């Protein structure tokens, strides 16, 4: 098993579970967040917001439930993406994938 497990919660955050000291979360300036209060049953566990609504970013504060956040969750194999004509990076068809636009 990997040292760090990230679970994509259904219509919710990214749940991160790791051995103590094996992971660090830093802000844009490289300053580390204090994760000491996020120990649970001998392992580090916290949730990262992916809905954009948390007032405690980058951590989830449960706002996703209040705003009815909906997200695509299923892990898609690269071979399935190729078959459906989507891009591996975004899962979108090439014409809809803005990350592929050249400016
Ligand atoms: S995912 Fe929970 S507040 Fe954003």
CATH of residue 35: 3.40.5.90
pLDDT at 97 over 60: no
Residue 60 contacts by C-beta under 8 Å, 6 or more apart in sequence?
12, 13, 47, 48, 49, 51, 54
What is the pLDDT averaged over residues 1-26?
93
Q: 80 vs 4, which has greater pLDDT?
A: 4
- Cα(58) to centroid of ligand 1, in Å? 9
Residue among 60, 32, 56, 30 nearest 45 (CA): 60
Q: Residue 103: inside a domain, yes or no?
A: no
Q: Residue 100: inside a domain, yes or no?
A: no
Domain count, the chain: 1
Q: 103 vs 81, which has greater pLDDT?
A: 81
- Cα(88) to centroid of ligand 1, in Å? 25
Q: pTM of whole model > 0.85?
A: no
C-beta separation of 91 from 99 below 8 A: no
Task: Quote the domain boundaries for residue 48.
Answer: 4-95
C-beta separation of 43 from 20 below 8 A: yes
Residue list, ligand 1 pocket, CB within 6 Å: 12-13, 49-51, 53-54, 60-64
Q: 42 vs 75, which has greater pLDDT?
A: 42
What is the pLDDT averaged over residues 76-103?
58
């Amino acid at each position: 098993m990997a040292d760090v497990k990230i679970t994509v919660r259904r219509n919710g955050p990214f749940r991160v579970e790791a051995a103590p000291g094996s992971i660090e979360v830093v802000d844009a300036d490289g300053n580390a967040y204090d994760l000491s209060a996020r120990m649970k049953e001998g392992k580090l566990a916290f949730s990262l917001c992916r809905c954009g609504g948390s007032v405690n970013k980058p951590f989830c504060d449960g706002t996703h439930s209040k705003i009815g956040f909906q997200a695509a969750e299923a892990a898609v194999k690269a071979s399935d993406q190729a078959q459906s004509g989507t891009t591996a990076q975004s899962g979108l068809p090439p014409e809809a994938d803005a990350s592929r636009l050249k400016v």
